[in-house]
Amino acid sequence: MTIPIPIIMMAMGTITDRSIAMDDFFLRALLAGTGLALTVGPLGCFVIWRRMAYFGDTMAHSSLLGVALALMFSLNLTLSVFVVAAAVSLLLLVLQKRGGLSADSLLGILSHSTLAIGLVLVAFMSWVRIDLMSYLFGDILAVEPVDIATVWLGGAFVLAVLALIWRPLLASTVSEDVAEAEGLNPARARLVFMLLMALVIAIAMKIVGILLITALLIIPAATARRFAATPERMAILASLIGAVAVIGGLYGSLSYDTPSGPSIVVAALVLFVISLLPVVRRGNVLKG
């Protein structure tokens, strides 16, 4: 049986269109993931230096409450997550000043409480169909051009503000008393840093998900510390290592049909394990 040439041409055109579409969504994922990695690298360095990994987890978990409130009241998702994460940060500062409980105890209460409240609110909204897995583990392959713009513009804003508070934040990381003596206002720098973390988590939630945000913050920065000799070099290396992890994770996800968000974290873990090899030169940056 001979297949008419027009039908063959139509079939080839369909395949080409699908290939172009696949290239488009993969390119969007690369752009969004790389932009996020470049942003979280320097923030992750401070998370490690200041031993704030649990704080990052708390803010990430609180984002599910932001999602639930956004769906319940038809709010902008990114704005809702940012407001909730920022509110949790401010609440933590207030509770710390009152004393009575250690910081890790307060973080544990806030982390699990906000996550549980978010899950309960989602369960009550039976009229809304929610893909909970996409919020927990992200869906970077579903990003749209507006998401890419949000990541890059938001990331540029975060890095610009971080550059402004870099000196007082770094000084207070080394010694809070010395920073105060030099008039650097470390409390204000710490507050701004927490708000920047809230903004990054709001931006990153759709890409890597609630449960994987902290991993993307910590692992590239921990890897960079093995190579860098100064804080500034460590911040730059953390961004570059995060970008490599995003690219490697996405290509691995495409090749082996694995979830994209977890694949990015696994790629970052592989780079960290490589950095532990004895032949790798160690850096000497602030130990966290």
Q: Greater confidence, 13 or 210?
A: 210
Would you say residue 216 has pLDDT above 50? yes
Question: Domains plus CATH for the chain?
Answer: 32-275 (1.10.3470.10)
Alpha-carbon distance 206 to 253, whole Å?
A: 17
The pLDDT value given to residue 125: 86
Rg (CA), the chain: 21
To 10 degrees, what angle do helices 77-98 and 186-208 make? Answer: 140
Contact 48, 218 (CB under 8 A): yes
* Joined tokens for residue 3: 């297949």
Among 10-19, 87-96, 161-170, 202-211, the range scoring the smallest mean pLDDT is 10-19
- Rounded to 10 degrees, the C-alpha dihedral 285/241/54/154 comes to 110
Distance, CA of 101 to chain centre: 28
Q: Greater confidence, 8 or 281?
A: 281
Would you say residue 130 has pLDDT above 80? no
Work out the percent of the chain whose per-residue pLDDT is above 70: 89
Among 100-104, 169-173, 225-229, 261-265, the range scoring the smallest mean pLDDT is 100-104
Alpha-carbon distance 220 to 37, whole Å?
A: 9
Amino acid at 248: G
The pLDDT value given to residue 40: 96
The DSSP line for 234-249 is HHHHHHHHHHHHHHHH
Would you say residue 17 has pLDDT above 80? no
Q: What separation in angstroms does the CA of 11 have from each of 17, 21, 25, 245?
A: 10, 15, 21, 36
Contact 230, 281 (CB under 8 A): no
Alpha-carbon distance 161 to 148, whole Å?
A: 20
Contact 195, 202 (CB under 8 A): no
Mean pLDDT of the chain: 87
Alpha-carbon distance 130 to 147, whole Å?
A: 19
The DSSP line for 120-163 is HHHHH-TTS---HHHHHH--GGG--HHHHHHHHHHHHHHHHHHH
* pLDDT, average across residues 2-17: 45
